[in-house]
Amino acid sequence: MIKKFNMAYRIFIVLMLSVVNTGVFAEGLYLQTLNKTVLNAEQIQKSKQKIEEHKSVTVREKLAIEPFHKRGQINSSLEYSVCTGCHLSPPHTKSDRTRTFMNMHTQFIACETCHFRPENTELNYQWEDVREGKMLPAKQELFRQVVIPEEKPEERIKTLHSVNKITPFYQKEAVVLRKNSAFAQETVRIWMDGSLEAKAKRRALIHAPLQKEGPECQACHDKQQNFLNLTGLGATTYQIEKIQNNIIAQFFARYKDKEQRIRIMSILQ
In the predicted model, is pLDDT for residue 15 greater than 70?
no
Name the pTM for this structure: 0.77
pLDDT tens across 192-237, in order?
A: 999 999 999 999 999 999 999 999 998 999 888 889 999 999 999 9
Q: Is 181 exposed, middle or buried (0-12, 13-18, 19+ CB in 10 A)?
A: middle
Predicted local confidence at residue 88, as pLDDT: 77
Check: CB of residue 109 under 8 Å from CB of residue 139: no
**What is the pLDDT confidence band of residue 20, given thresholds at 50, 70 and 90?**
very low
Predicted local confidence at residue 234, as pLDDT: 94
Task: Report domain extents, the chain.
Answer: 28-49+73-214, 216-253
Q: With b meaning 16 or more CB within 10 Å and e meaning fewer, what string describes 211-242?
A: eeebeebbebbbeeeebbebeebbbeeebeee
Torsions phi, psi of 128, nearest 5? -140, 140
pLDDT tens across 148-175, in order?
A: 556 665 555 555 557 899 999 999 899 9
In the predicted model, is pLDDT for residue 183 greater than 50?
yes
